[in-house]
Amino acid sequence: MSEKSLHLRLGIFTCLVALFLIFVAIPNFVFSPSNVGNIILSPLFWPYVLAGLTGIVGLGLLANGVTSSNDALYEDEESVHPEGSAPWMRLAALACIMVLVMFGLPRLGMVWTAMLAFAACAFLFRTRHPIAAVVCAVIVPLLLYAFFAHVAGVAIPQGNFVRLP
């Protein structure tokens, strides 16, 4: 399969997914109260933003596929992977992290669980910047908690052990 063909197929698929989200999935499955004062706090806002961005990415892939003159073929992906079983082990570890997140949410709360999951994923994927990853793992969930709990007035699930103010 050529790069041009791949971009065209992915672009068409992505645009169709965006259209499905905008016209079928979001209107039928995302419920929003009619008295939401701020549009950014509406449950419909961010799904529509993500669906719109998906459509823009699809249009970009289509434009790249149409204007590209590169017909180079990709290598055969079915050859033996040089890393052996390492990618499968990482995938299994990521699945374990996801299961632990589901068990940790009611016990530790959303903020602390997000910190631990972010740090675990950063080290699982061997980040080149471990200090920045740990700092972001702590700061980003705390900032999001501060915004949603104190500015937007949205209750964030707290754990059984530590409660944030």
Q: pLDDT digits over 2-34, tens only?
A: 888 889 999 999 999 999 999 999 999 998 888
Query: Which domain covers residue 91, as residue numbers?
Result: 86-151
From residue 160, alpha-carbon distances to 88, 107, 109, 137 in Å are 34, 5, 7, 21
Q: Contact at 8 Å (CB) between 58 and 11? A: yes
Least confident range from 4-8, 44-48, 79-83, 85-89: namely: 79-83
Please tell me the number of Cα atoms within 13 Å of 20 on its side-chain side.
7
Q: Is residue 20 part of a domain?
A: yes
Q: Contact at 8 Å (CB) between 105 and 161? A: no
Least confident range from 12-26, 79-93, 111-125: namely: 79-93
Shared domain for 69 and 95, answered yes or no, is no
Q: Is residue 99 part of a domain?
A: yes
Question: Residues with Cβ < 8 Å from 159, sequence gap 6 or more?
Answer: 106, 107, 108, 109, 112, 113
Q: How many domains does the chain have?
A: 2
Shared domain for 33 and 14, answered yes or no, is yes
Q: Mean pLDDT across the stretch 69-96?
A: 74
Shared domain for 96 and 65, answered yes or no, is no
